[in-house]
Amino acid sequence: MAEKDNNKDAADFGIGIPVKKNPFFLKGLEHADWGIKDRMSRIFNPQSGNTVMLAFDHGYLMGPTSGLERMDLTITPLIEYADCIMCTRGALRAIVPPTSNKPISLRFSAGTTVLTELNDECLLDIEDAIRVNASALAIMVAIGSKYEALTVKNLIRTADMGAKYGIPTLGVTAVGKELVRDTRFLALASRVCAENGATFVKTYFCETGFEQVVAACPVPIVIAGGKKLPENEALEFAWLAIQQGAAGVDMGRNVFQSEHPVAMIQAVRAVVHDQRTPKEAFDLYNTLKK
Ligand code: R5P
């Protein structure tokens, strides 16, 4: 029998039923391309709307910093608890099992170390990002520095390349030694990243006015952890950031330099995804560390 014969006639056209709409869950990305939305939905949990990104890209700038001397021992056990990992291609290929199947926010700009001032940052090759199946391209943007124009140009080029292949761009706001992390600066830097094409922005929490930083950024914001704090304090500011509109954390030292990193990342998850208070999350940390 020919394939065209005796097929059941199409009849169920749903006439009169409006076409279903699926509003996208992350702000400012309603009109993004399907590939961008797909990758963002892997980085951010569509149920909570938030993400716990584990950052361990510090070596590209700092070398073997505390907690990252042997990433195979310290980082690999944490990966299963992260929604997304933020790392260099070197660390990725060396210590991240491909079977982890985690979205990768790939450190996509490099060029400066702690031994020099910020200098002539360059970009990686988009083909390598595709090769490792990156879910985001993380670009450092140094607003207010001598290299402001170069880093903004890097962001623009990255956003263009990412858009070509459906890969989101993460604008990472750097703070120079002479700049203060206050509301005005963080709002300006985050906004500049979004206006120039960042799909989401990584910045710092500030004690006052963080809500304004989030409100003025038209795309999701995740916060960096910064230097190691006591666990209860880190959970407190992560909670404050989430309460004030952050869509997650991109945390490194406050997790991998914790005395109990596996317990700490789970406590961070409780704050970010389960709306636990800092006290509840700290109790969870103390229970898990046993
Ligand atoms: C710094 O080199 C990286 O961009 C880190 O990913 C970022 O600072 C987040 O890590 P931490 O929570 O340790 O600040």
Question: Is residue 240 domain-resident?
Answer: yes
Q: Does residue 241 have its Cβ closer than 6 Å to ligand 1?
A: no
Question: Is residue 235 domain-resident?
Answer: yes
Q: Is pLDDT at 144 greater than 80 in this prediction?
A: yes
Q: Is pLDDT at 91 greater than 80 in this prediction?
A: yes
Question: Is residue 68 domain-resident?
Answer: yes
Q: For residues 91 and 41, what is the distance between their CA atoms, to the nearest angstrom?
A: 24
CATH number assigned to the domain comprising residue 241: 3.20.20.70
CA of 174 to the centre of ligand 1 (A): 10
Question: Is residue 178 domain-resident?
Answer: yes
Ligand 1, atom 3, lies closest to the CA of: 58
How many other CB atoms are found less than 10 A from the CB of residue 89?
Answer: 21
CA of 38 to the centre of ligand 1 (A): 25
Q: Give the three-state DSSP class for 212.
A: helix
By residue range, what is the domain housing residue 284?
34-288
Question: Is residue 266 domain-resident?
Answer: yes
Q: Does residue 58 have its Cβ closer than 6 Å to ligand 1?
A: yes
Q: Does residue 224 have its Cβ closer than 6 Å to ligand 1?
A: yes
Q: In the annotation, is 202 catalytic?
A: yes
Q: Does residue 250 have its Cβ closer than 6 Å to ligand 1?
A: yes
Nearest to 193 by CA among 218, 212, 210, 176: 218
Q: Is pLDDT at 134 greater than 90 in this prediction?
A: yes
265 pLDDT band, cuts 50/70/90, is very high
Mean of per-residue pLDDT scores for the chain? 95
What was the pLDDT predicted at 183?
A: 95
What was the pLDDT predicted at 246?
A: 98
The distance from CA 93 to its chain's CA centroid, rounded to whole angstroms, is: 19
CA of 224 to the centre of ligand 1 (A): 6
Q: For residues 103 and 98, what is the distance between their CA atoms, to the nearest angstrom?
A: 11
Q: Is pLDDT at 218 greater than 70 in this prediction?
A: yes
Question: Is residue 3 domain-resident?
Answer: no
Amino acid at 227: K
pLDDT digits (tens, 9 = 90+) for 170-184: 999 997 766 778 999
pTM of the model: 0.95
- What's the number of domains the chain is made of? 1
pLDDT digits (tens, 9 = 90+) for 36-73: 999 999 999 999 999 999 999 999 999 999 999 999 99
Question: Is residue 24 domain-resident?
Answer: no
Q: Does residue 54 have its Cβ closer than 6 Å to ligand 1?
A: no
Q: Does residue 213 have its Cβ closer than 6 Å to ligand 1?
A: no
Q: Which two tokens stand for residue 123?
A: 């970009």
What was the pLDDT predicted at 274?
A: 98
What was the pLDDT predicted at 178?
A: 66
CA of 20 to the centre of ligand 1 (A): 40
Ligand 1, atom 14, lies closest to the CA of: 226
Q: For residues 29 and 166, what is the distance between their CA atoms, to the nearest angstrom?
A: 13
Question: Is residue 161 domain-resident?
Answer: yes
